[in-house]
C-alpha cells in the first residue's frame, strides 16, 4: 500500500499490481460518499498515480457494499461559497481522470449514484457487477448533477434517456446500462475487480504513447463538445443549491424523511 502525505485518515487506498494501480475508495460505512476529505485523498492519490512511471493503467473501485453513492449530502448544508469550492474540487478530480495520459477503468458494484455515477463516467472504460444500480438521483434531493452527468449522458445516450435519468432520478441496473452503452461489460460481483484489472493489464501492454494519444483524442473531442454545457451545468447547480427546495431536500435526506417542496 502506498502512503499518502496528508496524515489525515485515509479514505482512498492505492496498491500497484504489475503496472496497474488499483485505487479504492474506502469509506464503506457511508457507501463511499464523496466528502471533501475523500475528494482530497482521491486527488492526492490520482496525482501520485499519474506521475508514477511504474503505473501504466489505473483501476478505480469501491470498498464495501457499493462503488460510491455520490457527493456526501452533508457537504450541501454548508454555505454557498464552501459548496462552490467543494464542486470545483470534484471537478478537478474528474478532469484529472480525463486528462491523465494513463487509461482508467472503473470497477463498479452495488451503487454508482450521483457523483459516484459521474466518477465512473469520467473513467475510460466501465466494468460493472451484475445488479449494480446506476443513476443520477440528485433531483430527489431538490438539486441537479454538478459533475458532468448531464453532458456525459447527452453525449452517450441522447436527450430522451438523459431526461429520464436526470428528471425522474430513477436508478437503472448494470444490465440496462450495458444495453444503453454506458458501461462496457457486466460480470458477476465476485469477478468485477479481477475483470477490471484484466482489462487494465491489456491496456498496460499497449504503447503508452499511442494510448495517451488515443485517450486524448477522445476526451479532448468530448470536452470540445461539452465545455459550454459543463459551464451551464456548474452555474445552474450553484443557482439551484441556493434555493429553499435544495436546503429542504438535503435536510430531508439527512433526517431520513420525505421532502416537502415549496417551489422556491
Ligand atoms: N451522502 C451522505 N451519506 C450517505 C450518502 C451520501 N450520498 N449515501 C449513503 N450515505 C450514508 C447513509 O446516510 C447511511 O448513513 P448512516 O448509517 O449514518 O445512517 C449510510 O451511508 C448507509 O446508507 P443507507 O442509506 O443506510 O443504505 P441503504 O442500502 O438503505 O440505501 C442508497 C442505499 C444508495 C439507496 C441510499 O444510501 C441513498 O439514497 N444514498 C444517496 C444517493 C444520492 O442521492 N446521491 C446523490 C447525492 S447528491
Residues lower than pLDDT 70 in the chain = 1-9
The hierarchical CATH code for the domain 12-190+203-255 is 3.90.226.10
CB 173 within 8 A of CB 115: no
Measured by CA distance, the residue closest to atom 39 of ligand 1 is 69
What is the C-alpha separation between 262 and 41, in angstroms, rounded? 37
Q: For this structure, is 138 an active site residue?
A: yes
- Residue 8: the pLDDT is 57
What is the C-alpha separation between 123 and 94, in angstroms, rounded? 8
Residue 30 alpha carbon to ligand 1 centre in Å: 6
What is the C-alpha separation between 174 and 191, in angstroms, rounded? 14
Catalytic residue among 29, 47, 95, 118: 118
Q: For this structure, is 118 an active site residue?
A: yes
Residues in the chain: 264
- Residue 6: the pLDDT is 59
Residue 103 alpha carbon to ligand 1 centre in Å: 29
Considering the entire predicted model, what is its pTM?
0.97
138 lines ligand 1 (CB under 6 A): yes
- Residue 244: the pLDDT is 97
Nearest to 129 by CA among 61, 82, 57: 61
Each residue's pLDDT tens digit, 177-221? 999 999 999 999 999 999 999 999 999 999 999 999 999 999 999
Amino acid at each position: 500500500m502506498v502512503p499518502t502525505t496528508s496524515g489525515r485518515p485515509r479514505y482512498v487506498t492505492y496498491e500497484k499490481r504489475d503496472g496497474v494501480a488499483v485505487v479504492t475508495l474506502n469509506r464503506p460505512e457511508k457507501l463511499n460518499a464523496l466528502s471533501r476529505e475523500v475528494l482530497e485523498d482521491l486527488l492526492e492519490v490520482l496525482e501520485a498515480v499519474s506521475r508514477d512511471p511504474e503505473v501504466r493503467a489505473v483501476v478505480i473501485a469501491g470498498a464495501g457494499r457499493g462503488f460510491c453513492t455520490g457527493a456526501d449530502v452533508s457537504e450541501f448544508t454548508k454555505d454557498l461559497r464552501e459548496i462552490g469550492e467543494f464542486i470545483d474540487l470534484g471537478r478537478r478530480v474528474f478532469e484529472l481522470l480525463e486528462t491523465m495520459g494513463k487509461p482508467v477503468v472503473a470497477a463498479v458494484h452495488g451503487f454508482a449514484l450521483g457523483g459516484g455515477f459521474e466518477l465512473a463516467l469520467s473513467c475510460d472504460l466501465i466494468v460493472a457487477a451484475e445488479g449494480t444500480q446506476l443513476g443520477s438521483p440528485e433531483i430527489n434531493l431538490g438539486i441537479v448533477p454538478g459533475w458532468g452527468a448531464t453532458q456525459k449522458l447527452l453525449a452517450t445516450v441522447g436527450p430522451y434517456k438523459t431526461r429520464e435519468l436526470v428528471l425522474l432520478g430513477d436508478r437503472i441496473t448494470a444490465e440496462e446500462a450495458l444495453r444503453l452503452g454506458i458501461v462496457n461489460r457486466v460480470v458477476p460481483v465476485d469477478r468485477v475487480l479481477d475483470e477490471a484489472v484484466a482489462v487494465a493489464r491489456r491496456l498496460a501492454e499497449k504503447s503508452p504513447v499511442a494510448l495517451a494519444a488515443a485517450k486524448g483524442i477522445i476526451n479532448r473531442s468530448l470536452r470540445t463538445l461539452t465545455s459550454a454545457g459543463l459551464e451551464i451545468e456548474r452555474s445552474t447547480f450553484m443557482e439551484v443549491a441556493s434555493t429553499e427546495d435544495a436546503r429542504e431536500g438535503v435536510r430531508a435526506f439527512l433526517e431520513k424523511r420525505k421532502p416537502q417542496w415549496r417551489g422556491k
